Structure 1
Amino acid sequence: MNQLIEIQLSDNMSPGGVRSKDIADIISSLEDMIASVVVRDHPELLKDNIIIGLSDISKGSLILAFIPHLIPLTIPAVKEIIYSISNNIYDHLPVNTLSSLKKIIKLTQRHNCEARIRAKDGETSLQAIITPQTEITDKYHLNGETILYGEIKRVGGDEPTIYFKPVHGKPISCKTTKDLAKKAGNYLYTQVGLSGIA
């Protein structure tokens, strides 16, 4: 098979030396990681329809080989995950992918081993190594359109600034243009909704 996904635990791990539950966790975590990326990119698909089928367990070190169901969608998803692990950049991955990846990291910590994830696509093979030291920070950069409701408390300054007290939370200030500051001045001490990108 030219297109394959593998996860290999380092040499001190062998099929007879690992609990079945741990192997099941690896299999389900890998499938969930990949399926979450595919569904993010193709929301018309159901996660349950994305199958990463176990095709082989090799002797020696523990190597689990998988043949994915939707190859044109799953192989790019695995490559994205591998890139993220290799470059320690996780902020664009779905939350479920990160959750499953953390389970694999915990397994490497518990067994003091490495897990290598490989994607083979024809002659090309990409690999990422998860070690007990692999760390995913919980810093997520989310942005989108939002509306804050509250009261404009003050407008002005040498650099035009709007001081705003939201209904819930601490007061905030934001720089603005003179024209917008003049318009905002008409709404001093009035309940308003401010829209923007956060």
Structure 2
Amino acid sequence: MFIWIKYGFEEVPPRMFNSNVTCDILLGFVRASFLKEVDDICKQRSLKLSIDIEGVKKQREAVGAEVGSTSVESVSPSSQDLGGMRPVIPRVGNVNSCHHTDWQVKLEAQLEALLAISKSVKDLQSVNALDVVDESGQRLKLNDRPRDRAMDILKPRQVYQLVKLGDTPEAPPTPLKFALPAALPSAAAAAT
């Protein structure tokens, strides 16, 4: 009997878990998977964003050095930089200086959001306040029945959402889904 549990970033597909265990064991597996996967994604994205921010800073400095230049040229990172995943950013004198600043601000906002997500995930390591909700938003209270079989409570082949319980019993649970403030600029958007 397998179930699917959705958590983490929007683009991450739901994860499959075996519900033929007690609720405490299932929640332990889900919690461990959630903590590891989200932490790994945050580390990878933080590293990529840090590299992109440094690249924007260097390009902005280069644009400042070429203030008198009016020719358009593209700055293309080497293929060693994250497998060529960084977009091509045009430079045109001072015109794109503002664009570089805006892009840097967006990247820094994403980095701050990732750091906040990472901090909240680390806070969950010491707290046993996780549960799942069904598609209607009904909390299934698996943590209130640790010795019951999860398959007696959960329907097989259904998708559930991982939630963090509130500080008080009356507080609504918080879905553990994350999104960054704005998407990284694509090469097409950066070229305009």
Note whether the superposition's TM-score is higher than 0.5.
no
Question: Bigger radius of gyration, 1 or 2?
Answer: 1
- What is the TM-score of this pair, normalised by structure 2? 0.23
Higher helix share: 2
Q: Normalising to structure 1: TM-score of the pair? A: 0.23
Query: Quick check: which one's strand share is greater?
Result: 1
Greater relative CO, 1 or 2 (CA 8 Å, sep 6+): 2
